[in-house]
Structure 1
Amino acid sequence: MATRKHWLMTGAAVIAALGIGFGAARLFDSPAPANDAHAEEGHSDEEAPEGFVALSEQDAAAAGVVLTAPQRGGGSELRLPGHVAIAPGAQARVDAPLAGTVTAVHVGPGARVRRGTVLVTLRSPEGAAARADADTAAAEAEAAHAALARDEALFERGYMPRARLDVTRAEARSAEARLRAARARVAAFGNPGSDGVVVVRSPSDGVVTRLIAAPGVVLHQEALQVAEIADTGRAELVFDAPPAAARLLAPGSRLSAETADGVRLEAVVVAVAPAAQGGTATVRAAATGAAPAPGTVLSARLPVGGGNGLTVPTEAVQTVEGVPSVFVRDGDGFRALPVTTGATAGGRTEILSGLTGSERIAGTGAFVLKAELAKGEAEHGH
């Protein structure tokens, strides 16, 4: 009986051992279904085309990627900052002709004046001296002419030798020369009166843009300026342009400009001053119509590129492996497509080649796709 019990226990142990071994073999030989799916998914990632990001439109939108399309027409443009300035030769600096003390100011800043309008009055000792010299020269010339008339009469009667008459004539000519010089000096000084009072007049029509003189101010030889007069009807548009943009312009080129408050105007380039090293070029243009007031801030639009060129949002262009690229919608994802870019302005970039214009591309949020692409390549390399 004991022997039978022993064999029964031994048989049960063998059966149990065989069962455990069979189960373990099934566990290692048959991976879990989840692991099979993961392996298949990993195999799919390895099969994805290079430069491709698998992402549905819904997931792209959720990630902030906005689909858009390239646009045609107008090309791109550059914005040139500028302002309205008085044309060369249309602004006059008015100086007092001589030193003195300002006694009265007859105009103010912004006053419109005509040629010859009195701006200021001053009293000058130098002016009084110049007038006195002129009066003295006039008296001396008058006396010399009287002496010449007397000597000529005496010569006609034989009471005066010719040599003496010649001396009298020379003295008269000398007196005339001194008078002319004295009168020219007085005229250059603004024709002061005998009391030295001088009036300073406007040399041209225009507007007083700056007034320096004030009653009581003493003007001296180193500082004689009293005002500035500008002919505001002779204004021009002045723009700062980078050297690359300046090369697109020449006298006769047309520009479209706009003031800060939205007023549009057309202009024609009259001159382009080359840029100094590291600086900007100066572009001068004349408005085809009435120009805004001097000092008005404005900007010019300079078209660049073809008139029927393709442009995309600037943020749509991403650098992928050192090459400018655009993410184009392709099937169930986005494909990085290399492009050749042109000028960038106004938030858009010109595409010279690489797109046909019929694509749907990632605009806003394209950097998300670039980051996802870089992440996928990093994982693949690992």
Structure 2
Amino acid sequence: MSLIKCLTASVAFIAWAAHESVQSAEIAVSQAQIDRLEIHLEEARPATQEAVALLPATIIPPMNSRIAVPAPFAGTVVSVHVLPGQSVEQGRTLMTIASRELVETLSQLRQAEANLAVASAVAERYRGLAEKNIASPTRAAETEAQRAGLEAVVDEHRRLVSLGKIKTDPDGSYALIAPRAGRIVEANVAPGASIGAMQAAVVFDTSDELWVEAQLPASLVGKVHPGDSITLEDGTKGKVLSVGHTLDPKTRSSTLTGTIPGSAGVVPGQMVTLSIHRQAAISSVEVPAQAVVWLGAAPSVFVRTEMGFAVQPVVLKGKTLRAATIGGGLTAGQKIAVSGLAQLENMIGAE
């Protein structure tokens, strides 16, 4: 038992000694060597935000912002006036469709309107006769009921013709109209193709924003909140909209949804890398991500000194593809190496 304790103590001492040797290591490097090794320096600067997580994510359209414009009547596509990716204004003609169904519905509407006019005249006549006790009130009520029935038929046909606020032409064709301004996503049919009644003909997005969806590990649930800043790898900035509070039993993660500008240069379905940020502590500093190396099982940076460089262990609060947030061990204004780090690591053992 004492032998095990001795071995454990020896291992701990060796690890501590290695950490201390790295922590106190200072590497003598001349300016000529710095130039030859192409070691570049940057200053640590005060951090305004600290990285919380770096996650893979997918661009998705905002909820309820994607609109499908259906064809209310079956027919044949005559012409398509828009292309995917094109921006359209409200009221723009999207597609022209020739439809026998529309011709039949318009004919039925005109017939129903004519029948309604006759029924209204008859009902009016019998109402007047009933008031003078010339005709039976029951007969007057029957004609009024016939008029009401025909009025319902006319209303039904008018609603059919006005579906989607289409524009009808005398030749039996109609035009689909953009109900709102937006950007075309899909035009599902080509000229000459048949299209069914209420089939989606054109799909477009109406929002000037995009959403980004990621799976947040269980360890970060509760640490990320709506309103936290997010940044894509190209520098596009946005914010967290929502964080789910239920874990998927298979992935042990929760769904995070954020919003970014629609002008970000990405499209729905595209895979991106998302970094999440929050307000940094006053004492925190920010350095380029590549400046942080792991030495002696601790994150460290190479700080410029009069002789060369000193290895400085730091407290790493968060890291993204571009920057790392340091919570201790480094102060703003200190110059650190951001390139040539492998050569500096090799020089530690050579000292």
Confirm or deny: 8 A CA contact 2:167 2:176 kept in the other structure.
no
Cα shift readout 1:52-81 (whole Å, capped 9, x = no counterpart): 7798658xx79x897989835237754778
Partner of 2:194: 218
Instruction: Report deviation, 1:181.
Output: 2.3
Identity %: 23
Instruction: Report deviation, 1:329.
Output: 10
Question: Aligned pair 1:132/2:97, yes or no?
Answer: no
Task: Map 1:340-355; keep pairs closer than 5 Å.
Answer: 340-346=315-321, 350-353=325-328
Question: Aligned pair 1:204/2:180, yes or no?
Answer: yes
- Structure 1 portions without partners, runs of 5+: 1-48, 374-382
Instruction: Report deviation, 1:96.
Output: 0.9
- Structure 2 portions without partners, runs of 5+: 1-18
Indicate the RMSD between aligned Cα atoms, in angstroms.
5.2
Q: Which amino acid aligns with 2:67?
A: A
Task: Map 1:95-106; keep pairs closer than 5 Å.
Answer: 95-106=70-81
TM-score, normalised to structure 1, is 0.58
Question: Aligned pair 1:71/2:41, yes or no?
Answer: no
Partner of 2:9: none
Deviates more, 1:157-166 or 1:208-217: 157-166
Confirm or deny: 8 A CA contact 2:229 2:240 kept in the other structure.
no
From the superposition, tell whether residues 269 and 184 of structure 1 become closer, same or farther in structure 2 (CA, over 3 Å).
Answer: same
SS at match of 2:209: strand
Instruction: Report deviation, 1:83.
Output: 9.1
Confirm or deny: 8 A CA contact 1:204 1:229 kept in the other structure.
no
Task: Map 1:43-82; keep pairs closer than 5 Å.
Answer: 51=21, 71-74=44-47, 78=51
Confirm or deny: 8 A CA contact 2:44 2:332 kept in the other structure.
yes
TM-score, normalised to structure 2, is 0.62
From the superposition, tell whether residues 114 and 141 of structure 1 become closer, same or farther in structure 2 (CA, over 3 Å).
Answer: same
Deviates more, 1:182-191 or 1:350-359: 350-359
SS at match of 2:176: strand
Partner of 1:250: 226
Instruction: Report deviation, 1:218.
Output: 0.2
From the superposition, tell whether residues 367 and 224 of structure 1 become closer, same or farther in structure 2 (CA, over 3 Å).
Answer: same
Q: Which has the higher helix share?
A: 1
From the superposition, tell whether residues 99 and 306 of structure 1 become closer, same or farther in structure 2 (CA, over 3 Å).
Answer: same
Deviates more, 1:174-183 or 1:157-166: 157-166
Instruction: Report deviation, 1:217.
Output: 0.8
May I ask how many residue pairs the two structures share in their alignment? 311
Task: Map 1:126-205; keep pairs closer than 5 Å.
Answer: 126-152=101-127, 154-155=129-130, 159-188=134-163, 190=166, 196-205=172-181
From the superposition, tell whether residues 157 and 205 of structure 1 become closer, same or farther in structure 2 (CA, over 3 Å).
Answer: same
SS at match of 1:282: strand
Distance 2:314 2:131 in 1: 107
SS at match of 1:98: coil
Q: Which has the higher strand share?
A: 2
